[in-house]
Amino acid sequence: MNVVSIDAFHLKYPFEPSCACIGYFDGIHKGHKELLLNCIEQADKNQLKKVCITFDPDPWVIFKNEKQKHLSTLSDKIQILSSYGFDEVYILQFSKEFASLSIESFHHLLKEMNIKILICGFDFKYGQFNSGNVDTLKKQNDFKVIVIDSVNFSNLKISTSRIEPLILKGELYQSNVLLDYIYSISGYIEHGFKRGTNVLKIPTANLNVDQEYILPKTGVYAGMVLLENQFYKAMINIGTNPTFNNQHLTIEAHILDFDEDIYGQKIRFFFYDRIRDEMKFHSIDELKNQLLRDIQYVDQLNFDECLLKNTRNIFFKN
């Protein structure tokens, strides 16, 4: 899959005729999935390149000058799109100039990018003051437009802004249902206080997380980790280890049936469901007994087959 960064005002790339879906696609949830699958199907049917058009940076960065947290980093999006079988991802460089393109200039840009079929959601907006929408798109004759109806859950549109608060509240199972795969964050393993290994005899991998991610509410989660293209069941804690009065928030996983030195390695933590609050225990033995019960619980937990399969399809590299 080719990933191409595009300056809308200086098109240089040799664009081949394509069927493209368009959006910011943070998290690539179940609603987005409908667009992506439709795009792949239409591209194959019409012998066109399979293209996903997205934007970077986040419009908020440009308008509010604030770094936003996201469900997925750009690199995650690229990985997910690659798992769908896209040929190309066009990343339109978002700027104030780009945001103020007139409706006609936006259509002209897509025509110049050799888009033959455009797939978007029913509420897609574009151009100056977000004045472009599916009605204005349908009025032009340069490319065909396919509009996807709202993909709902409990009669409400599935959207990134609906999933984000669920993650912040720790309702990870519900977020996963709306995403259609298991939510994850990634980073590198760093050194902790070594109490896991030395005091508790329950070693943990401490995550130095990419700061872009939306972090689940503090607490203990059943989940998995992905390490060197292998999935392992894990229990994850996000918190300040109140039994030890830590000053800073840590994100750590005890990987079940695993005992290797993995400092410095790239790792991904998957949050399947929240088990409990992080608690302050009166003694290390009490904490240890609780951790042993958590291990037992996670060990016997059967993850939803469909969520597991979708997650593997995205993140497992063949």
Ligand X SMILES: Nc1ncnc2c1ncn2[C@@H]1O[C@H](COP(=O)(O)OP(=O)(O)OP(=O)(O)O)[C@@H](O)[C@H]1O
Enumerate binding residues for ligand X (CB under 6 A): 22-26, 31-32, 34-35, 120-121, 123-124, 148, 150-151, 157-161
Return the number of the residue (121 or 216) whose C-beta is nearest ligand X: 121
The secondary structure of residue 126, as a DSSP letter, is B
- Least distance in angstroms from the C-beta of 202 to ligand FMN: 7
Q: Could you tell me the CA-to-CA distances from 172 to 67, 99, 212, 226, 249 in Å, in that order? A: 24, 34, 18, 18, 19
Return the number of the residue (148 or 189) whose C-beta is nearest ligand X: 148
Residues that bind ligand FMN (CB under 6 A): 192-196, 200, 204, 206, 220, 235, 237, 241-244, 252, 254, 278-279, 287, 291, 294
In the structure encoding, which two tokens stand for residue 308, read together?
């597991």
Return the number of the residue (26 or 252) whose C-beta is nearest ligand X: 26
- Least distance in angstroms from the C-beta of 31 to ligand X: 2
Burial class (CB in 10 A: 0-12, 13-18, 19+), 86: buried
- Computed on alpha carbons and rounded to an integer, the radius of gyration of the chain in Å comes to 22
- Bridge-partner residues for 91, per DSSP? 5, 54
- Least distance in angstroms from the C-beta of 194 to ligand FMN: 5
- Least distance in angstroms from the C-beta of 94 to ligand X: 12
Return the number of the residue (114 or 237) whose C-beta is nearest ligand FMN: 237
- Least distance in angstroms from the C-beta of 295 to ligand FMN: 8
Is 207:253 a contact under the CB 8 Å cutoff? yes
Nearest-angstrom CA–CA distance, 123 and 246: 46
- Least distance in angstroms from the C-beta of 254 to ligand FMN: 4
Residue 186: CB atoms within 10 Å: 20
**Residue 184, binding choice from ligand FMN, ligand X, none, Cβ under 5 to 8 Å by partner class:** none
- Bridge-partner residues for 213, per DSSP? 70
Q: How far apart are the first and last CA of the chain?
A: 15
**Residue 59, binding choice from ligand FMN, ligand X, none, Cβ under 5 to 8 Å by partner class:** none
Return the number of the residue (148 or 167) whose C-beta is nearest ligand X: 148
Return the number of the residue (33 or 233) whose C-beta is nearest ligand X: 33
The upper half-sphere exposure of residue 11, i.e. CA atoms within 13 Å in the direction of its Cβ, equals 13
